[in-house]
Structures are given as C-alpha cells and as structure tokens.
Amino acid sequence: MGILAMILAGGKGERLHPLTLHRAKPAVPFGGIYRIIDFTLSNCINSGIRKIAVLTQYKSLSLDKHLRLGWNFFSGELNEFIISVPPQQRVGDKWYQGTADAIYQNIYMIEKDAPDHLLILAGDHIYKMDYAEMLQFHQQEKADATVAAIEVPIEQAASFGVIAVEDGCRIVGFEEKPKRPKAIPGRPDMAFASMGVYLFNTKKILEHLRFDALQDTSHDFGKNIIPEMMRTSRVCAYNFIDKNKKAAKYWRDVGTIDAYWEANRDLVSVDPLLNLYDNAWPMRTYQAQNPPAKFVFAQEKKGGRLGTALDSIIAHGCILSGGRVQNSVLSPNVRVNSYTEVHDSILMENVDIGRHCKIRRAIIDKDVVIPPGTEIGYNLDEDRKQFHVTPSGIVVIGKGVSVQEQEGAIPIEDPS
C-alpha cells in the first residue's frame, strides 16, 4: 500500500486528570480490557496498515509497556513494524511543539522509509474506520491531502474544527471552534467536523512541513498546515464511513472525565452505541494470563450475600465475592467483597472493594483498596475532602491512592 501511519500519542490529557497523572491519555484504560490507543491501532491493522510509528512524549512508560506486551507481533522480515518514537531532537533542541512539528521532527524517519502516503492519526479517539477506503477515495479524487470528516448537528459544530466544502469534497475553509459554523452544502442543519485524521501524498506534505517549520506558527495541522495547503494544493474532505455498523456514526474524543465516564457506561447498555462484539472488525489489546471471572455466594435469605453483576462488563480475573455490581465496568483482577454495592462505576485493574461498601458514579483507578464500610458518591461534600469530584458529581480516585477509613464506618458483623 506504500503507507506509513504516524500516531500522535504524546498529549498530557489534562482534562482527564487524575487518570492522566501517571500516564499519557492514549494509555488510559477503557471498556474494561482496552487502552484508548487500541482503537486507532486496531483500525490500522484491520485496514492492512503494517507500518506504524507511535509518537510519544508525556509520561510514556505505561504506553510503551502496553505496545511492547500487546502489539509486538509484526514481522521485520516483511518490513512491518510498530515503533515508539519519543522526541529525537534531530532538527533542534525542543520537544514536540505541535502536531505538525511532531511529524516534522521525524522527517528523517519518513524520508528513510519513503512511503507514498503519510497517514496522521490521533491516539486518543475511539471509533472504527477503514483507512484503506479513505486512501482509495484520496487517490480517486487525485488529492494532495484528505481530511476525514464526520457530520455533526450545526448547533454542536462550534466545539470542533469545522470544514467548509465546495464541488463535492474540495475543502475551501477550515476553522477551529467557529462561532458561526459553515453548513454542509444542501444540508443547513449539519456541518463537517474534522476527526483529526489526515492523509497526505508524502512528497507534498514534506514540502509544507519544511516551510511551516521556518514560520512563527502553532505548527498545527488544523490551524496551519491544512489552511496553507488549501491555497496551492487539492485538499479534500472524506465523509467518514463507520465500521461500527450502527444507525448513528460513532466517533468520540473522551477528553473529559464526564465524556470518558459516559462512553464507558454506554458499553453496558443492551444495545450500546459502540459494538465491541463484531468479529469482522476486531478490537485488539494486551490481555494478561488471568483466570476467568468468578461470582460466589448466593444466599437468598434476607441479609445474605449475593455475588452478582447486572448490566455490566466484568473482565477476566475479577471476583465478586458476595458483592453486587450494576451498570458498571470492571477491569481485570477487581475484587468486590461481601455486602458491597457498586452502581454506575468504572473500576480499573486490581481495585479491591472491602465489605459493606456503597459505591456509585465513581471512577476508581488501578491498585486502589477501598476500606470496609466506605461510602463513595453519596455525600459529595465529604468525597471532595479526599478525591476529585467533577461538576456533574463523578468521583474520581487516582491510581494507587490510599483511601482513608471513614469515621464511624465500622462494618456490621458477618452473620455467616
């Protein structure tokens, strides 16, 4: 195919704190067993792309480890690779200054591999897309650059980078978060929003990257490169074809705690917007050798223990030891002990919930032990004394945080 994919994965993701306090945003767990970057990587593999460079920068240890453990199956003999590339400082002494600068700083690698086309992707979006179909469109339109676009209601478009088109697909305007978004021709109620997916003819984009590097700009594809290319080159918009096979197209930037919580919670609905169970478009990830999930204790008498989960995702290695979980997502090796209730929550790897706890509308990061008798999500004023609480009332406990025993939270005696 002659295509090199470069995934921008160095963002701090500050709006996702404290989940990004110890890891880059693309490495944040999602959907029980995945990391956010797994969706972009799976799209690449499913699209037949076998040359992938992941550009890292901010707190990349967790991401590097995940790539090494879960994605190290490429054949060097066939000139396939997935590599993690931190800032090399080959063209200066600065870290990555913007999305375009991140690519420019790796211009040596691009020239060495000499692909026909360069595919620029974000590592922090959740969606299903066949990039091979986008390449076919790019070639048919004889474009120098193609930007993937998703249709959004005009009243929501001000939150995105909005693309204005003429003559079918030719981009004539590109504006970040405009006050008055341009509608799609013939569809006054809809606008094209950029998905942060860019496909370029390699020779042409390298010319523009070199030029931009000498200018006093933000060195950003949406703000600088695409608007500049529109003046001299053919730049097209590709209307996103969703491989999710649902009525509505699915593309999410889970850049805030509330958006992240909503996207996870949607997965447990009867007919979730994102289909993880489509074998024709598999989502890959690293999975450790854990035992199956286990549900124990089923005493039907009043006050008895019942290990059960309803409308939830329960990953391997979890033990529901007499606790009840509902409308929640549990990552591997979570333990929910007797007489505990967990509602509308996301529990990440190795979380241990003590007996007689009540948890609701919470996100609990890895390696957190919740003392017996603790209540979280029921008194937000008390929760704020220990944890981060969003304006909508989602309680977030960071990775490895030591949770204090609550005053007076002495569990009742176990009747058994």
Residue-wise pLDDT tens digits, 193-215: 999 999 999 999 999 999 988 88
382: which residues sit within 8 A by CB, 6+ positions away?
Answer: 406
Per-residue pLDDT tens over the stretch 59-99: 889 999 999 999 988 887 888 899 999 887 666 667 777 89
Weakly modelled stretches of the chain, pLDDT under 50? 415-416
Model pTM? 0.92
CA distances from 119 to 47, 145, 205 (A): 12, 10, 11
The per-residue pLDDT for 13 is: 78
φ and ψ of 67, to 5 deg? -65, -40
Distance, in Å, from the CA atom of 403 to the CA atom of 405, rounded to the nearest integer, reads: 7
The per-residue pLDDT for 408 is: 60
Distance, in Å, from the CA atom of 344 to the CA atom of 312, rounded to the nearest integer, reads: 9
The per-residue pLDDT for 361 is: 98
At position 151, the amino acid (one-letter code) is E
The per-residue pLDDT for 301 is: 61
Distance, in Å, from the CA atom of 407 to the CA atom of 5, rounded to the nearest integer, reads: 53
The encoded tokens of residue 199 equal 């496909």
At position 260, the amino acid (one-letter code) is Y
The encoded tokens of residue 25 equal 């945003």
The per-residue pLDDT for 401 is: 93
